[in-house]
Amino acid sequence: MKKLLALLLALIMVLSLAACGQEGGGTQEPDNTEDPGTSEPDEGGDEGGDTGLVNFRMGYFDTGSQDGTSTPLRNNLVAAIESLGATGVPVQPAESTSDAYLDALDTLLSQDVDAVALPWVSFMYAGSPAAVKKCEDAGVYYGFYWGPAMEDLGEDTLSICQDSELFLGCFYQNETDAAYSAMETLHNYGCDQIGYIGLAASNEMQENSRDYGCQLAIEDFGMEILVEQRDTNVTLTAEGGATTVENFLTAYPEMDGLIIAGNTQFVMPGVHQAITAAGREDDFKVAAIDFPDDMATYAESGVLVYDSGGHVTGPVYLTILAANIMNGTPLAEGGQSYNQQYIKLTSSEEIMGWMEIEDEIVYNTDELLQCLQVNNPDFDLDAFVEMVESYSYSDIMERHHSE
């Protein structure tokens, strides 16, 4: 009886994990696409029904819909996969460690995927070489998003992927610039005595780049960071955000601003709650990196004055690169670095404006189909790079709301 119940518990656990993995309909059949081009099926791909596009299997890591960044990332990726005639194959890592992500990658590779989008930040320097090697051994196209530029991937990773025909590229954000802009905005609001909520030191790439951006701003504007909170036991919950701000304001009453350079989506509700509870909405401002849920509330109260985020298009771009290869028209020979832009909102008003379009799919089906050379022979590498680098709030407004 006990053994049976233990097995039952294990089964429930596995099923609930599997339920998370299947959420979002990643295994659904691809939709038909308009204006099909003509192409020869590539190795590992099949004709995608009546679209004429090659149907291939795009693997990705589904981190659920737990926050304001992972939700649009997945929604945009799923939309791109469907638009480009591919089949999505999601997998959900058991936890947020590079080992868990490597295990999940094994699962993906066992599902006969043709290409896979790898979140570099989840593998980091320790896990990236193994991830790259697994993809190479499986003969699967791969590329990174949420990572550094290619030259900063780490010697081991770079040595494998720089000459590889399977490597699609590296989509990186300019973290230094994002942090610098955050500090600059706080300074413009008259806030120079700053508290800092950030990532743990183990998150070397992002932490170093964002810290460097803050440091540059401190030197340029004469600001001061009074105290830091990088303990992930605290910064992964909203209550931790409230506790942090309460501690900051108790220990440093002169503090007039806060930069959240990591885990924004977790701490922001609590941060806002603590600031309003202390009645400091008018003289205490927050600048953040990554978009949290319910951003309009924080902007409306005047607390949140800067946010850079919306860096959710990396996997979409990787899917475009993979789709072109699978349709026999590769855009580039080998992988390279691409600067995936942040959407930078530098006032409460701009944040409110963004909230009106935040749920939109960034690239619609028509736009994505024009990113395939089989449909649009003029779409070359330069056009692709221009598309990547022009991504911004005004770019989306111009493309979708110009009237």
Cβ-based nearer residue to another protein, 14 or 366: 14
What are the φ/ψ torsions at residue 12 (nearest 5 degrees)?
-60, -40
Contact at 8 Å (CB) between 170 and 341? no
Cβ-based nearer residue to another protein, 293 or 380: 293
Cβ-based nearer residue to another protein, 93 or 169: 93
Q: How far is the CB of 76 from another protein (least distance, A)?
A: 14
What residues line the site for another protein (CB under 8 A)?
Answer: 1-2, 5-6, 9-10, 12-13, 16-17, 19-20, 23-24, 64-67, 71, 92-96, 100, 200-201, 226-234, 236-243, 246-248, 250-251, 253, 265-266, 268-270, 272-273, 276-277, 293-294, 297
Q: How far is the CB of 97 from another protein (least distance, A)?
A: 8
Of 235, 175, 232, 229, nearest to 207 (Cα)?
Answer: 175
Six-digit token string for 172: 């990186």
Q: How far is the CB of 309 from another protein (least distance, A)?
A: 15
Cα torsion through 388, 389, 392, 394, rounded to 10? -110
Cβ-based nearer residue to another protein, 201 or 357: 201
Cβ-based nearer residue to another protein, 155 or 254: 254
Q: How far is the CB of 59 from another protein (least distance, A)?
A: 19
How far apart CA 349 and CA 265 sit, in angstroms, is 20
Contact at 8 Å (CB) between 182 and 223? no
Q: How far is the CB of 344 from another protein (least distance, A)?
A: 23
Length of the chain measured in residues: 403
Give the largest Cα separation in the chain, rounded. Answer: 69
Q: How far is the CB of 20 from another protein (least distance, A)?
A: 5
DSSP state of 65: T
Six-digit token string for 144: 């990174």
Helices and strands of the chain, counted as H and E runs: 16, 14
Positive or negative torsion for Cα 377, 381, 382, 388: positive
Q: How far is the CB of 328 from another protein (least distance, A)?
A: 36
Cβ-based nearer residue to another protein, 208 or 370: 208
Cβ-based nearer residue to another protein, 93 or 315: 93
